[in-house]
Structure 1
């Protein structure tokens, strides 16, 4: 009997038949299933492996090219990488989306169901991780040798559920079914040490040296995730570290039958990569987080230097071939660790090593808030990293000597800029360490960078003019427009071609189409379809009936007082009161969509979530209100949820207190998807306004300077509350238990925040916010004009591509070429 061979296809070709063969092969040989008993999840795994093969085929030549051309490498150090789902993004990057979709369809499968089985990588929590993911995408798209370093968390921060209106956290076990995108590298493993002691000795040249000894060891093992750039020419690498014990178990305890004790060391070692941001509410939690940060820094520096030493034996070449970007203060230990390795392990002179360290490192600041600028107690620091504490002290001593020489007698200046904060408890200021140890420091929006220079880092700016620079954030249009909103992307491409995908400034060519009535109608139809899709999903998941005839008003971001979800709620309650007072009132119907996680230990933020849900329960079930007003809290906000919500958004709420939001990227994503922004003069809102025009946004409220002045003078919210009847009634409803009849004083904590001090000035901005919302209603009644302005928002978003952001980093900080 003649043997039937496989079809005549090349395994890694991109035509439909080759992809079908890859799918069937991986289902059998990688998943271990046959089609007759394969589930949709099995087919997802097969599809992921099939696409991964094609990514890998481009990945190896990329890495080889970097070695052959001896390209300078950029190492992006971040505790978070929110890369989202990878399958569809990889398909788009390689240009095989339609072929894979067709192949899956020809196999009799539902494409959306198959790709929907992908579990998002739980490697981050918020904007910090989403930005990091965008920058990795853009480095690959721009053919920059860019590598990410982070931690392979077994569990993300948490999965958010809502029970009886309260946030409930459960483990985010994203690796439960395996991760088809990662490559385990058991051959890439480095020791990371903690504790021990330091001895000092004289070497043969008479130089004083230090040796760190008697330390405990944990092993860091690498897992690699390929990051494909658009077009597939370049595939970069995200390397994540997983903690492994140096010993699997203690045979002595095992033989004695004490199995728990036998694996104790292994379990304790491996907690380092167990969970994203372990709670630091306890001393043990603080220690774990501190160790976690050093763990990924130490492994990454060893890896970076090992790669450098493969091709170079001259240490002076290090800054010519290595750029290390510190994404916030979490990786700031890079400064001390790189200095330690160069001085202690490679015997470089201190000042030569320090020059190399500073020229390699650069630091991105993401916050002006003192509570978010990490500091660590000296006692904790010295107990866990005794040699690093010595190094930090020496760095600080030499830095302060330099300052003292330039500003003799100014002890207050020395106190302010010192890396070591004196007080009841001496602490190491990690942001100061990052600033002192970097050749460049950047903010992430023009207003944020300006405030950095005038507030938290003003002394450093005076000491080193030009060191602090701005790099306004951006987002990748591949994921946040081409992938998230394919209907709008298709409409845009039909009008101006597809060059905008990699050159977002090309969107400017859309401007004339804003005046085209036919194009406006097509644009409106796309938005309507996206709204209807979101309406269906919310109905299925949450059981809330919505109408796409209402204005979709969206605020999705981490729940925090400064982001002012409460201000949004005060408007909702005020609107509700107006409808209750006059059920026949002619108001524009609104659907208010709020989503975001509250940190587990942040009681007030969790109370705000409860208030959102209690208000929703009352409003959505009030027959007098009907479809005039709906409130939805979308649980477990993540990248996939954002990709669903943002294309449907019509009004983007960006209402943080001026001077508190470093940049924001949700504001960019929603504007890019055709939403109009209602926002304060904060973060990137200011630059969005400069690009799209103030007439195409709804800006309101105090400026950062006015906020600072009010806080200096002291603010009493009571007169503002009494002067505004809408605000007064809204607060009274919350206080009276109207939304919590089972527990009337449930929200007293929120009322107290609003009436006693109101640090984030909600009551001061409320009248102007209400007036801005009236302007929203007025414009939304003119559907054609609303769509014209929405199209102009899309057309003028070219600046906010992460490609532009990365190109600026490359030219002005990393000193690498952009093709």
Structure 2
């Protein structure tokens, strides 16, 4: 027999549909069994539900590989400018359905699974959600990766492959209990390890200066220890395009896994101690930073993934280019908040010490490569690191930062002669007390662009948080209002509504959200309004069924679903919502025949494990729920629900079912918000302050379709400047006084007056987020919500108009703004070569 002849990839092989990649129902069924047998090592008789899910996931992955491999091959061969998105978090959500929607294969796969005698939804529910983010920052990064691929922008996302994600949340006796999130316990079928691209990361030690053979001053970093970064790649599919970009996440491994010298002398623990210590870096998402050790680990995490990523970019660049001279022309690196800001110093180190560039050339490359997105208005959230910790961990970087700062302050002196206060305000090193490295300042100095994430947020950056940098570099600043992907947050999470919209206006809106404007005319169609409201009731019934199954609490899907789901934080003011609930409770108790709009209050969110006040707010919500839900006088007119373990999957259930969206943060505190966008896109009306993106949502949907309350940012600043006294509001408002007094007596805490005293005392004597100042306005707005909901026909009209006018808030629009104004990148279409069309490349 003659040996087989391998057909080179660049030649034309014989093309057939094969069992691994075909799209017919029968082929998909056969491929599922093949993956179950050959990948999972199971037969249908021995397989678990998880085995079947894994086989299904691999079957889907097989069918996206042609896009992914073609994209990588094209980027490798073509001189395209690439966007590198550096983020400490990527809150992706489950992959399976999202990939099927992007591939346009949902229906054939569902049919193939059901014809195989399996329950499709049960397999879908087996997927573990990647625990790679805390909340909005990570979810935004995921939306942006989706839009980059859908818009066919060459891009790669870089982050950390946390072994244990943000904790799973349980509620016991009303308190939050944190449970380890073992999302990788059964493996992750969507990732592929790439150990051949591992990078070595240095930590600690000291530096040595020397002169090279050309008598040029150089510095050598001698580390105390090194860590290997192993990349794990996940494909990020664009919606019905051939582009599939890569999310590359780094896992920390010891450079030497086992110390035989220690083992041989009987030091068994010492033989593996270094391995354990090194691999802690990528073990868990965001440890508490209250202790020095926690801060050190967080800094280690940030430098680890940034160093790995920059070294990887340099490797990729040098595979296509003769030198790094044009690095800034081929890469735009977006810093998603300050977590990756150390990249400014690390790229300088790599250029200076590893590639022998002079300072001016290295700085020109660096400052024209990075762009910085600020995500906060809270001063305490602007990261800074004590000099002793920073210098001990990253001695070479501290030297570089001092040098950057020295040159920068010389520039400041030219602009502001003899202004010592301006030098102190702008310096990268904070010397007002204990010395710190200000990471936001490093990002501002080392980036060519700085942006906020909502119009109000950007204006407040210019006038307050980063005012001095705006005065110095006004040309760097711009606004890029956040957005969310309609693929996950409408098509996937709300298929009934999405199908209805497609029936009326087609499906172009899925990639061009502005096309939702065509719905406006249907808001005047009474029949369509009735149909819209019927769909909403069906979705609410689904959530009611879930609540019944999860918490054994029956809720009425005809009641107004009032939803506040987000991270638990005082500035997000979940406890203001509770004050309104207790107000309603008191009104009904005082007048049992009071005619009120039935309402189900739904909360969800996690508190940071070390955030006492946030955890106490969760306890307050649950304690009020215990009383309200079981009081016969209330007679189900009010229900209070706290759904545990808020995550992306949770959001996919809740956003479509909401009637009213609670966006009630103190004006001037929320940078943007994206939950507000997801609610509005799914037809919920908003009750909110003029904070973050609420301002732009209200402008877009119309003031008449938005329930506004509360102080403006300017009023907040003015009241605070005049010594805000919250107790004055308590003394002048009888309902407010009655609410706080009822909580103070222990009525909601089994007679214990001390349990919620920290909350009550904080509100009466400090109230930093001005709940009491906004209370009356909020309660009145909630009364208006209840009245409006009674006119279901008009409510349906407002709901339709909310959806129709939300086109601006697509992450596709956000990414186009970044591409046009900051990155200067253009779409680059991927062609799948003929030999990859069916993936069957025969050996003849």
Answer yes or no: same fold by TM over 0.5.
Answer: yes
Deviations 1:515-556 (A, max 9, x none): 111111111111101100000011101111111010000000
Give deviations 1:24-54, integer Å, cap 9, x for gaps.
Answer: 1111111111112222211111110000111
2:126 aligned with 1:81? no
**Unmatched runs of 5 consecutive residues or more in structure 1:** 1-6
Q: Does 1:112 align with 2:121?
A: yes
Is the Cα–Cα contact under 8 Å of residues 387 and 435 in structure 2 kept in the other structure? yes
Aligned counterpart in structure 1 of residue 381 of structure 2, from 372, 389, 393: 372
Maintained 8 Å contact 1:807/1:818: no
1:219 aligns with 2:232: no
In 1: Cα distance, 2:630 partner to 2:589 partner: 13
TM-score norm. by structure 2 comes to 0.95
| Mapping 1:335-484, distance limit 5 Å | 335-484=344-493
Q: Matched residue of 1:759: which SS?
A: coil
- 1:735-764 Cα offsets, whole Å, 9 max, x none, are 110000253210000001110121100000
Residues in 2 aligned to 1:543 and 1:298: alpha-carbon distance in whole angstroms: 49
In structure 2, what is the equivalent of residue 208 of structure 1?
217
Residue 174 (1) aligns with residue 183 (2)? yes
The question of whether the paired residues in 2 share the 8 Å contact of 1:558 and 1:596 is answered with: yes
Structure 1: how far apart are the matches of 2:291 and 2:213? 46
Check conservation: 1:475, 1:802, Cα contact below 8 A: yes
Residues 700-779 of structure 1 correspond to what in structure 2 (within 5 A)? 700-779=709-788
Q: Report 1:246-645 matches (<5 A).
A: 246-645=255-654
Q: Using the TM superposition, name which of 503-512 and 725-734 deviates more.
A: 725-734
Query: What residue in structure 1 maps to residue 35 of structure 2?
Result: 26
Q: Distance in 2 between matches of 1:641 and 1:256?
A: 53
Inter-partner Cα distance in structure 1 for 2:295 and 2:58: 39
Q: Is the 8 A contact 2:338 2:439 kept in 1?
A: yes
CA distance in 2, matches of 1:15, 1:561: 53
Q: Give the number of equivalent residue pairs.
A: 813
* Counterpart contact for 2:203–2:223, Cα < 8 Å: no
Superposed counterparts of 1:178-189, under 5 Å: 178-189=187-198
3-state SS of 1:338 partner: helix
Verify: 1:808 aligned to 2:817, yes or no. Answer: yes
Q: Could you tell me the TM-score, scaled by structure 1's length?
A: 0.98
Measure the CA separation in 2 of the matches of 1:753 and 1:281.
21
Determine the C-alpha separation between the residues in 2 that align with 1:292 and 1:455: 30
Q: Which residue of 2 aligns with 1:670?
A: 679
**Inter-partner Cα distance in structure 1 for 2:780 and 2:677:** 23
Does the residue aligned with 1:33 lie in a helix, a strand or coil? Answer: coil
Secondary structure (helix, strand or coil) at the match of 2:603 reads strand
What's the offset of the Cα at 1:203?
2.4
CA distance in structure 2 between the partners assigned to 1:214 and 1:367 by the alignment: 34
1:393 and 1:714 map into 2 onto residues whose CA distance is 39
* C-alpha distance in structure 2 between counterparts of 1:255 and 1:208, whole Å: 43
How far does the alpha carbon of each residue in 1:797-819 deviate from its partner, in whole angstroms, 9 at most, with x for none?
00000000001001111110136
Is the contact made by 2:252 and 2:280 (CA closer than 8 Å) also made in structure 1? yes
Displacement over 6 Å in runs of 4+: none
Query: 1:95 maps to what in 2?
Result: 104
Whether the aligned pair in 1 keeps the contact of 2:19 and 2:31 (CA below 8 Å) is no
Deviation at 1:349, TM superposition (A): 1.1
Deviation of the 1:9 alpha carbon: 4.8
CA distance in 2, matches of 1:254, 1:49: 41
Match of 1:139 among 148, 172, 177: 148
Contact 1:55 1:232 in 2 (8 A): no
Tell me how far apart the structure 2 counterparts of residues 251 and 41 of structure 1 sit (CA, whole Å). 39
User: The residue matched to 1:263 in structure 2 has which SS?
Assistant: helix
> Contact (CA 8 Å) 1:415, 1:421: kept in 2 or not?
yes
Q: Secondary structure of the residue that 1:240 maps to in structure 2? A: strand
Distance 1:257 1:347 in 2: 44
Q: Return the alpha-carbon distance in structure 1 between the equivalents of residues 389 and 324 of structure 2.
A: 32
Mapped contact 1:563–1:655 kept (Cα < 8 A): yes
How far residue 247 of structure 1 moved from its aligned partner, in angstroms, is 1.4
CA contact (8 A) 1:727 1:766 kept: yes
The CA distance in 1 between the partners of 2:358 and 2:267, in whole Å, is 50
Query: Pairwise CA RMSD of aligned residues?
Result: 1.1
What corresponds to 1:4 in structure 2?
Answer: none
* Structure 1 CA distance for aligned equivalents of residues 435 and 341 of structure 2: 18
- For the residue of structure 2 that corresponds to 1:466, the secondary structure is helix
Confirm or deny: 8 A CA contact 2:195 2:231 kept in the other structure: yes
**2: CA distance, partners of 1:818 / 1:710:** 48
Higher relative contact order (CA 8 A, sep 6+): 2
Residue 280 (structure 1) shift: 1.4
Deviation track 1:707-727 (CA, whole Å, cap 9, x = no partner) reads: 111111111011111111111
Displacement of 1:256 in angstroms is: 4.5
SS in 2 for 1:342: helix
Change (3 A) 1:599 1:214: closer
C-alpha separation in 2, matches of 1:102 and 1:583: 53
Deviations 1:481-535 (A, max 9, x none): 0000000000000000000000000000000000111111111111101100000
Structure-1 separation of matches of 2:294 and 2:116: 50
Alignment partners' CA distance in 1, 2:395 and 2:264: 36
C-alpha distance in 1, partners of 2:24/2:97?
17
Q: Distance in 1 between matches of 2:665 and 2:468?
A: 27
- SS of the aligned residue for 1:626 comes to coil
What is the Cα deviation at residue 315 of structure 1?
A: 2.6
Verify the 8 A CA contact 2:148 2:812 in the aligned structure 1.
yes
Q: Which of 61, 64, 69 is matched with 1:60 structurally?
A: 69
Is the contact made by 2:348 and 2:362 (CA closer than 8 Å) also made in structure 1? yes
Looking at structure 2, the residues matched to 520 and 37 of structure 1 have their Cα atoms a distance apart, in angstroms, of 50
Q: CA deviation at 1:207?
A: 2.3
Distance (Å, rounded) in 2 between the aligned partners of 1:778 and 1:456: 40
Q: Does the Cα contact within 8 Å between 1:9 and 1:17 map onto a contact in 2?
A: no
SS of match in other structure, 2:113: helix
Structure 2 contact 377–669 (Cα < 8 Å) conserved: yes
- Which among 7, 11, 14 is matched to residue 23 of structure 2? 14
Displacement of 1:18: 1.9
Unaligned runs of 5+ in 2: 1-15, 829-844
Task: Note the C-alpha offset of 1:642.
Answer: 0.3
Q: Which string of whole-angstrom CA distances, capped at 9 and with x for unpartnered residues, describes residues 626-645 of structure 1?
A: 22000000111000000000
1:23–1:46 CA contact under 8 A, matched in 2: yes
Question: Does the CA contact (< 8 Å) of 2:317 and 2:324 recur in 1?
Answer: no
Give distance in 2, aligned partners of 1:102 and 1:726: 57
Aligned to 2:670: 661
